[in-house]
Amino acid sequence: MIPKAFDYCRPKTLPEAISLLQQHGDAAKILSGGESLIPMMKMRLAQPEYLIDINQISGLEYIKEEDGYLKIGALTREADLEASDLIRSKYPLILDTAFSIADPQVRNLATVGGNLAHGDPANDHPATMLALNAEVVATGPNGERSIPIKEFFVSLFTTALQPNEILTEIRIPAPPAKSGGAYFKLERKVGDFATVGVAAQVAVDAKGVCQQAGIGLTNAGGTPIKAEKAEEFLRGKPLDDGNISQAASLAADDAHPSSDLRGPAEYKISMVRELTKRALTKAVNRASQER
Amino acid sequence: MQRKDRLSAPCSTASEETGSSRRHFISQLAALSAGLSVVTPISRGLSETTPPARGPDQAPEEGTLVDIALQVNGTTRKLRVDPRVTLLDALRERLDLPGTKKGCDQGACGACTVLLDGNRVVSCLILAVMAQGKEITTIEGLAKGDQLHPVQAAFVTCDGFQCGYCTPGQIMSAVGCIREGHAKSEAQIREFMSGNICRCGAYPNIVDAIKLAVAEGKEAI
């Protein structure tokens, strides 16, 4: 398994990397952790002529709260999310998600930015970022622009990033008090891609009424899916079992997976319904434990 | 040397002339051989001449060779590699370090686990060129002379293997697992060793070995 030949580029700064992208356009691919791209290249499913390794660019690995956002640098490794006190204490949904990805060796290299920019509906962060209403910062020749995550996933392996842009940051609006989230992923075996996965994030008031709800679906269609009908249904309602069940059915309506080795479409839709129930229930429990 | 300049430039580019039929032959050889070892001496010879010319719209027939230096087990090793060469193949085929094993070659089995700046990674999913400037530790770099590393010793004591093929990867992963602080309970060890598959099913003994290593020699790990 040897990739098709490519030229290897190792820029030290972001402007240098962007200028290489301008020069080579679609023939170039950005290499961050490489944990998805390198296997795809080995199987020759991806055949970039230029590989632009951005790992030498400093200042893209951070996790911080600033200006009302949680900001995650694109080169932040999954293992860094797992080890972060900030993530562990305030963002259980992101912790669940990072922990569910592949295995510890892969998580030591794999990056959050790569997980999103790859545009694979089977990746786990897309659903989570959809549930959290994140924004993606793209940096190109004309500077930065912010892309709402809802508009980021265009089609299979295609995102809203232009050929001359690099994903540099993920911004998540700081959750209000009494917020909680959870990620549930059905795997055939540990480390596998999701058969389906569901990310849920809720904010409740003192009486347990839903103020905000976000639900994202992994591997339930050609792109990651935001289950908006279910989100709208929950807003302003008490998060009891009946409403959670109803929302889970609405989320399942938004899923349109295809049948494959991981199971028939009908099974996957049922699993979306069940995992949505579980994720919402756990999210509500976590939200009510918050001060 | 001209070759070295290419490394300091942000992108390696090919701009000179060479016989294309010879290059075509070499790329066919690369396709036929299981590894890149067959190509190695010829590529070395070729590098004495020049890389191929190609227009702006042509894809390279093979990656432009690059000169790299890798820090492996405390020693600097210089190599001229095709950028497609994984760290795993560089270690096994070029640096005479076959202790790191090739299992699935796609990041699913853990047999090729090494430490990169102290963190465990699968060497089949990292290109050798990406590992420049990192401290690489392989199974060969673990023991101090004849004195086994505590995790190696524990694997021997607990019989943490049967056929032994996955063992170097299991041991390197176990060292990472213990250093991360993810070996506090049996359940945690099983979870955080999930990236290493053992087809013989020596898992119970592997878990015992890690528990023993933690109990006996954590500070040395």
A117-164: pLDDT as tens digits: 999 999 999 999 999 999 999 999 999 999 999 999 999 999 999 999
- State phi, psi for A144 to the nearest 5 degrees: -95, 150
pLDDT value at position B13? 41
Q: Reply yes or no on whether the pLDDT at B121 is more than 70.
A: yes
CA angle B46, B52, B56 (to 5 degrees): 155
Burial of A68 (0-12, 13-18, 19+ CB in 10 A): exposed
* Amino acid at position A179, single letter: S
Highest mean pLDDT among B35-49, B55-69, B187-201: B187-201
Q: What is the mean pLDDT of residues A269-284?
A: 98
Residue of B nearest to A54 (CA): B130
The token duo for B76 is 């600097």
Q: What is the mean pLDDT of residues B189-201?
A: 97
Q: How far is B215 from chain A (nearest CA, A)?
A: 22
ipTM of the modeled complex: 0.94
pLDDT value at position B221? 73
pLDDT category at B60 given cuts 50, 70, 90 is low
Q: How far is A208 from chain B (nearest CA, A)?
A: 34
pLDDT value at position A200? 98
pLDDT value at position A291? 59
Q: Which CATH number fits domain A7-51: 3.40.1190.20, 3.30.1330.10, 3.40.50.300, 3.30.43.10?
A: 3.30.43.10
pLDDT value at position B38? 31
Residues of B in contact with A104 (CB under 8 A): 120, 173, 176-177, 180, 182, 192, 194-195
Residues of A in contact with B28 (CB under 8 A): none
Q: Determine whether the interchain pair B195/A191 forms a contact, defined as Cβ–Cβ distance below 8 Å.
A: yes
Q: What is the mean pLDDT of residues B104-113?
A: 96
Q: Determine whether the interchain pair A5/B60 forms a contact, defined as Cβ–Cβ distance below 8 Å.
A: yes
One-character DSSP codes across A15-50? HHHHHHHHHHGGGEEEESS-TTHHHHHHTTS---SE
Q: Reply yes or no on whether the pLDDT at A207 is more than 50.
A: yes
**What's the predicted TM-score (pTM) here?**
0.88
Residues of A in contact with B168 (CB under 8 A): none
- State phi, psi for B213 to the nearest 5 degrees: -60, -40
Q: How far is A203 from chain B (nearest CA, A)?
A: 31
Q: What share of chain A is helix, strand, coil (3-state, %, to 5)?
A: 35, 25, 35
- Gap between the Cα atoms of A209 and A237, Å rounded: 5
Strands B135-137 and A50-53: unpaired
Q: Which CATH number fits domain A179-289: 3.30.390.50, 3.40.640.10, 3.30.70.260, 3.40.109.10?
A: 3.30.390.50
Q: What is the mean pLDDT of residues B127-131?
A: 98
pLDDT value at position B219? 62
pLDDT value at position A290? 75
Three-state DSSP state, A170: strand
A20, A31, A39 member nearest B11 (Cβ): A20
Chain segment A77-100, per-residue pLDDT in tens: 999 999 999 999 999 999 999 999
Residues of A in contact with B115 (CB under 8 A): none
Q: Which CATH number fits domain A63-173: 3.30.465.10, 3.10.20.30, 3.10.20.340, 3.40.980.10?
A: 3.30.465.10
Rounded to the nearest integer, the mean pLDDT of chain A is 97
Please compute, for residue B203, the number of CA atoms within 13 A of its CA located in the half-sphere on the CB side: 14
Per domain, the residue ranges of chain A are 7-51, 63-173, 179-289
Percent of the residues in chain B that have a pLDDT greater than 90, as a whole number: 68
Q: Reply yes or no on whether the pLDDT at B3 is more than 50.
A: no
- Gap between the Cα atoms of A233 and A251, Å rounded: 10
Burial of A170 (0-12, 13-18, 19+ CB in 10 A): buried
pLDDT value at position B64? 84
pLDDT value at position B6? 38
Q: Determine whether the interchain pair B10/A9 forms a contact, defined as Cβ–Cβ distance below 8 Å.
A: yes
Q: Reply yes or no on whether the pLDDT at B109 is more than 50.
A: yes
Q: Reply yes or no on whether the pLDDT at B18 is more than 70.
A: no
Are the C-beta atoms of residues A135 and A149 closer than 8 Å to each other? yes
- State phi, psi for A136 to the nearest 5 degrees: -110, 130
pLDDT category at B217 given cuts 50, 70, 90 is confident
pLDDT value at position A190? 87
- Gap between the Cα atoms of A279 and A113, Å rounded: 24
**Sheet of strand A196-204: strand arrangement:** A179-186, A196-204, A210-218, A225-226
Q: What is the mean pLDDT of residues B42-57?
A: 40
* Amino acid at position A227, single letter: A
Q: Reply yes or no on whether the pLDDT at A194 is more than 60.
A: yes
Nearest to A235 by CA among A280, A282, A170: A280
